[in-house]
Amino acid sequence: MDVALGRPELVVEAGAARSQRRWDIFLQLNFCLPAAMLLLLVVSAIFATQLAPYDPLHTSLTERLRPPAFAGGTQAHLLGTDKLGRDVLSRIIFGSRVSLTVSLVVILITASIGTALGILGGYLGGWVDGLLMRITDISLAFPGILIALLLAVTLGPSLTTVVLAISLLGWAPYARLIRGEVLKLRTADFVLQARIMGCSSLRIMVTHIFPNIVNPLLILATLSVGLIILLESTLSFLGAGIPPPIATWGSMVSDGRSLIDTAWWISFFPGLAIGLVVLSGNFLGDWLRDRLDPRLRQI
Amino acid sequence: MEPVYRWPQPLLQVDDLRTYFYTRRGVVKAVDGVSFSVAPGETLGIVGESGSGKTMTSLSLLRLVPQPGGKIVGGKILFEGVDLLQLSEEEMREYRGSKISMILQDPMASLNPVYTIGEQVAEPLRQHQHLAGKTLWDQVTEALRLLRIPSPRERLENYPHQMSGGMRQRVVGGIAISCRPKLIIADEPTTALDATIQAQYLALLKDLQRQTNVAMIFVSHDFGIVARMCDRVAVMYAGKIVETATVRELFSNPQHPYTIGLVNSVPRLDRKVERLASIEGQPPALLNLPPGCRFAPRCYAVFDRCHVAEPPSIEAAPEHFAACWRVA
């Protein structure tokens, strides 16, 4: 054999057809709209200082309660100002940082814990599984807001508290989902084959089972973006979240509550941002689920 | 009488192996006192109907009895003189894949869908021989070439779903042979394949054995395949081996009524038979077995003693053992 070092070149088959398919996804509205929305979130979070027209904390009492530009306000404040004269648009842009940070950190924590526990329970079975699943049941049954409020009171409201509070119960759905998937996989012949070839349980869990559950994991993670942002907003709204004056979408909605009949824009625009991002997360999750379905994937 | 060929020192010697399943309803004796041996390079066939304990016997040899519930409760499995049942789990893992390996029934299910076949053949080599780089991929290609997979280098990057059933089963064979084990257990490796592919695959296994001198335990319910593949045959019934003999001896001179029934139920071209013989009744439930011979309720030659005590394995002819009171 005259083939040189290492692994052979990947056989590129029907390359044209594949790249055709790659471009097709940008024509699917249920992919490109939510993807663009989430991209906007990421960009605004990263480049908040460059994008925001004003300092989100800068108060100006002479400029207070200005309506949005299209509703009789000035071009200076596109989405109006709140009761302290802070620019709503700038605050929404800076608020995206909180939303994004919280979602990413929480997903990282909950997905890791949930996946580890789910695989352990599903693969090992027996009392390990029983114990882990009872803990999962308890976590799922517990009112999350209560825990979060409790934490906020004892630890004091901060970004860390919010992340902790959401993560504390957030791993349970992952554990439940992954365990179910692993239960299906553990009796699969390829797992037995791996054991026949001398793999340890740990190796089977990490290298043989985990790659097979990446799809549902990815889907759940995407779907949970919306939920996490909603929870963070709820906590901030209740005053147990990130303390003022840091701009978060939830606290902005909360701030504008008392003025909802006169200065509706203070609550409306951050509320709209929450709604759009949550919706985008859900749409993208659904799209991923359809896309990654193994029965559709291989066509 | 033809000369009896005695096999040299056995590679594998199984003594009184017992694998039980502890269920809520009682103890299921899936493998109940099974003894046999396999010589280097030899092929031993294990035949029997579904539920007779063939697969559990094979899994017991690797100590991979399904958990929870299953347990090897007694016996000895001597492989090259080492009792596998005395090894720690870690030591046992060293044997799996590198000295003893196994081919499962369904090639569709025994490959991991997320890895390329190259990766899957490489896995045991990485694990047991710590190969990497060019040596590793040469070995992988070599394993696939042994299984006559066309253009193996190019096939390495394929995923299981890109291959046909026959090719996949060859890959599974490639995985099993990759570390050059001394013994391969093939558990009905051709059941999921169609007739022509089946014949090809069997010829391939035979050829593989000639090239590598690997011993084989060939588990099957198909007497025709067993006759073609094996040197010796062990017939299992309800968790026990009821008869062991060389293939030729077993077919020409079956002793146990169950074996006789099985042999008569195989369609033959050299004799005109109006209707194939069948064995009346069902194998017993392995839960709470009655005393005596397990085949007694279905046996045409049953007598008093059969219901009282279990027949031991009796040497009916040289190298020919049958567990039947009639033989004694």
The mean pLDDT value for B36-41 works out to: 90
Lowest mean pLDDT, pick from A166-180, B224-238, B255-269:
B255-269
For residue A125, the chain B residues in CB contact (below 8 A) are: 67-68
Q: Taking Cα atoms as reference points, which of B17, B62, B63 lies closest to residue B37?
A: B17
Residue B298: pLDDT above 50? yes
> Nearest chain A Cα to B145, which residue?
A1
pLDDT band, residue A4 (cuts 50/70/90)? very low
pLDDT band, residue B83 (cuts 50/70/90)? very high
The mean pLDDT value for A241-265 works out to: 83
Residue A269 to residue A284: CA distance in whole angstroms: 22
3-state DSSP assignment of residue B100: strand
Higher pLDDT, B106 or A178: A178
The mean pLDDT value for A248-262 works out to: 84
> Nearest chain B Cα to A188, which residue?
B109
A264-281 per-position pLDDT tens digit: 888 899 889 988 988 888
At residue A7, the pLDDT reads 44
Residue A111: pLDDT above 90? yes
At residue A296, the pLDDT reads 53
- Shortest distance, CA B276 to any CA of chain A (angstroms): 35
Q: How far is CA A25 from CA A18, A28, A125, A277, B44, in A?
A: 11, 5, 40, 20, 56
Task: Tell me the count of A-B CB pairs closer than 8 A.
Answer: 87
At residue A1, the pLDDT reads 39
3-state DSSP assignment of residue A79: coil
Residue B286: pLDDT above 80? no
CB contact under 8 A, B62 and A211: no
ipTM for this prediction:
0.85
At residue B3, the pLDDT reads 42
At residue A295, the pLDDT reads 52
- B80: exposed, middle or buried (Cβ count in 10 Å: 0-12, 13-18, 19+): middle
Judge contact between A81 and A87, C-beta under 8 A: yes
Asked if A36 is an interface residue toward chain B (Cβ–Cβ < 8 A), one would say: no
How do beta strands B100-103 and B12-23 pair? unpaired
The conformational region for residue B214 under phi > 0 = left, psi -120 to 50 = alpha, else beta, is beta
The mean pLDDT value for A32-51 works out to: 88
Q: Phi and psi for B151 in degrees, rounded to 5?
A: 35, 65
> Which of A1, A2, A7, A207 should one mutate to test binding to chain B, selecting the residue with the greatest count of B CBs within 10 A?
A7
> Nearest chain B Cα to A212, which residue?
B114
Name residue B299's amino acid: C
Asked if A193 is an interface residue toward chain B (Cβ–Cβ < 8 A), one would say: yes
- Shortest distance, CA B52 to any CA of chain A (angstroms): 20
CB contact under 8 A, A196 and B104: yes
Judge contact between A206 and A197, C-beta under 8 A: no
The mean pLDDT value for B270-295 works out to: 76
Which superfamily does A29-51+63-294 belong to?
A: MetI-like (1.10.3720.10)
